[in-house]
């Protein structure tokens, strides 16, 4: 047989073309490999966030049982369960500092461990005093874990898809609500309220070993830490002329969002009971309402990456104002009796809960406002100082509802979101910003 050599005759250009095409195909595959994002990390972080809201929401179902066991009034039962959420600012400041000084990974692993610990200790508490301490730990963890998680996701994901990546991780919060509703529906009445609270730490317990072995440090933090290893960075930089506006507006925005959400979320079961719905199906109906929140959290990032941070926030704030006012006004003016009336009430509640997806916007907007050297502290400060609203919100609804009912209180709270649309207009547009 005659051997065809690539260097001879008219086949030479064809062989060269084939070689070039093969090389380009290989380079293209390599490039796609480099661009591939670690989606499995998002799932781990998502699951690790679930206990934060699961623990709080489960307490909504067992609050009266705990109060009876410790001979407390409903007010003090709510106080020891929800007031410690005011510790979130300390958590954000602490874990933001740890994340900037020692790395995002170490700070996040510590927060996940503490979330499991607080759930277990809540279930074995001896009385209201040590229970309040364990809830204090939970408040610290909620503020710190969120700040570090959002900082890490923002730094490892590229700008065009950052919003949707953050949104996927943020669904851990509504999934925590749904998980709590499922647990309450399936096992409530069969086990003690203490054991029910301990179930809230199960997702983090499953995510902890995966996070330990799989999570890697943020490359941006490693680079910045090496460049600035001899320079001390102070919290005061957040209040420098270049960052003060971002710090103030970010804190104000989170306060409005947290106050509005937590004036609504914990009181959904109580509102359904006030409407005359039987206690048995309330956990399951609450689950369906929070399914709306899950959809909103998941879709927010895709909308934000398309329309921009500011416009998406304004759409969701206006939607939340209309949805919450409708949910509070319409069912409370009618008799909720029969399957059709209950279904319409749940649809109204789910529509309002959908617009809670604006929480996904915090995770993409806030990290884009601050440079790497203070990003953890900036995000932590804004989110956790602003999250004081999450402690004030439930108490405000409880106070006002004693005079005018929960439904009318929801209508009043809806006005807060209209203020939020004005505040977000003062922000710079950061979509597509490279960190």
Residue 4 falls inside a structural domain = no
From CA 123, how far away is CA 91, in angstroms rounded?
22
- pLDDT reading at 417 higher than 90: yes
- pTM for this prediction: 0.72
Q: What angle do CA 343, 347, 351 make, to 5 degrees?
A: 175
- pLDDT reading at 12 higher than 60: no
Average pLDDT for the chain: 80
From CA 279, how far away is CA 282, in angstroms rounded?
5
Name the least confident of 93-107, 135-149, 177-191, 280-294: 177-191
Q: How many domains is the chain built from?
A: 1
Residue 110 falls inside a structural domain = yes
What mean pLDDT is predicted for residues 212-216? 86
Residue 382 falls inside a structural domain = yes
Residue 202 falls inside a structural domain = yes
Query: Contact, 229 vs 364, CB < 8 A?
Result: no
What mean pLDDT is predicted for residues 102-121? 87
Residue 310 falls inside a structural domain = yes
Residues with Cβ within 8 Å of residue 48, at least 6 apart in sequence: 108, 112, 115, 145, 149, 172, 203, 204, 207, 208, 211
Residue 372 falls inside a structural domain = yes
Residue 214 falls inside a structural domain = yes
Residues with Cβ within 8 Å of residue 253, at least 6 apart in sequence: 313, 362, 382, 386, 420, 423, 424, 427
CATH value at residue 115: 1.20.1250.20
Distances (CA, A) of 255 to 142, 145, 302, 393, 427: 15, 18, 24, 10, 15
Confidence of residue 30 (pLDDT cuts 50, 70, 90): very low
- pLDDT reading at 145 higher than 50: yes
More confident residue, 350 or 171: 350
Confidence of residue 422 (pLDDT cuts 50, 70, 90): very high
Query: Contact, 81 vs 390, CB < 8 A?
Result: no
Residue 250 falls inside a structural domain = yes
Q: Which residues pair with 188 in a beta bridge?
A: 191
From CA 251, how far away is CA 64, in angstroms rounded?
33
pLDDT digits (tens, 9 = 90+) for 267-298: 888 888 888 888 778 878 888 888 888 888 88
From CA 182, how far away is CA 191, in angstroms rounded?
14
Distance of CA 282 to the CA centre of its chain: 24
Domain carrying residue 417: 42-424
Confidence of residue 16 (pLDDT cuts 50, 70, 90): very low
């Amino acid at each position: 047989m005659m051997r065809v050599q690539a260097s001879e005759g008219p086949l030479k250009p064809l062989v060269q073309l084939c070689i070039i095409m093969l090389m380009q195909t290989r380079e293209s595959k390599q490039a796609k490999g480099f661009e591939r994002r670690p989606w499995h990390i998002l799932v781990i972080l998502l699951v690790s966030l679930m206990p934060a809201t699961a623990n709080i929401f489960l307490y909504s179902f067992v609050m009266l049982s705990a109060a009876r066991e410790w001979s407390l009034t409903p007010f003090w039962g709510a106080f020891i369960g929800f007031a410690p959420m005011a510790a979130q600012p300390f958590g954000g400041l602490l874990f933001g500092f740890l994340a900037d000084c020692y790395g995002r990974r170490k700070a996040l692993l510590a927060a996940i461990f503490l979330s499991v610990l607080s759930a277990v200790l809540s279930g074995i508490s001896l009385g209201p005093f040590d229970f309040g301490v364990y809830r204090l730990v939970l408040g610290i963890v909620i503020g710190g874990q969120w700040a570090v998680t959002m900082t890490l996701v923002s730094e490892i994901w590229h700008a065009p898809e950052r919003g949707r990546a953050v949104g996927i991780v943020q669904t851990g919060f509504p999934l925590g609500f749904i998980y709590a509703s499922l647990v309450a529906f399936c096992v409530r009445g069969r086990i003690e309220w203490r054991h029910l609270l301990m179930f809230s730490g199960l997702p983090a317990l499953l995510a902890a070993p995966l996070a330990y072995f799989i999570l890697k440090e943020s490359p941006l933090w490693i680079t910045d830490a090496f460049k600035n290893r001899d320079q001390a960075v102070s919290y005061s930089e957040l209040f420098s002329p270049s960052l003060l506006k971002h710090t103030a507006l970010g804190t104000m925005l989170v306060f409005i969002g947290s106050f509005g959400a937590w004036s609504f979320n914990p009181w959904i079961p109580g509102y359904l009971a006030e409407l005359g719905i039987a206690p048995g199906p309330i956990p399951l109906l609450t689950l369906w309402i929070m399914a709306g929140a899950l959809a909103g959290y998941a879709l927010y990032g895709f909308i934000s990456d398309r329309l921009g941070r500011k416009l998406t926030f304004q759409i969701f704030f206006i939607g939340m104002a209309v949805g919450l006012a409708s949910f509070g006004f319409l069912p409370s003016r009618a008799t909720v009796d029969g399957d059709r009336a209950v279904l319409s009430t749940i649809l109204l509640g789910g529509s309002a809960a959908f617009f809670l997806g604006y929480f996904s916007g915090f995770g993409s907007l806030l990290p884009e406002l601050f440079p790497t050297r203070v990003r953890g502290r900036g995000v932590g400060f804004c989110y956790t100082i602003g999250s004081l609203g999450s402690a004030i919100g439930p108490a405000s609804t409880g106070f006002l509802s004693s005079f005018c009912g929960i439904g009318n209180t929801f209508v009043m709270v809806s006005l807060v979101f209209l203020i939020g649309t004005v505040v977000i207009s003062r922000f710079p547009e950061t979509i597509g910003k490279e960190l």
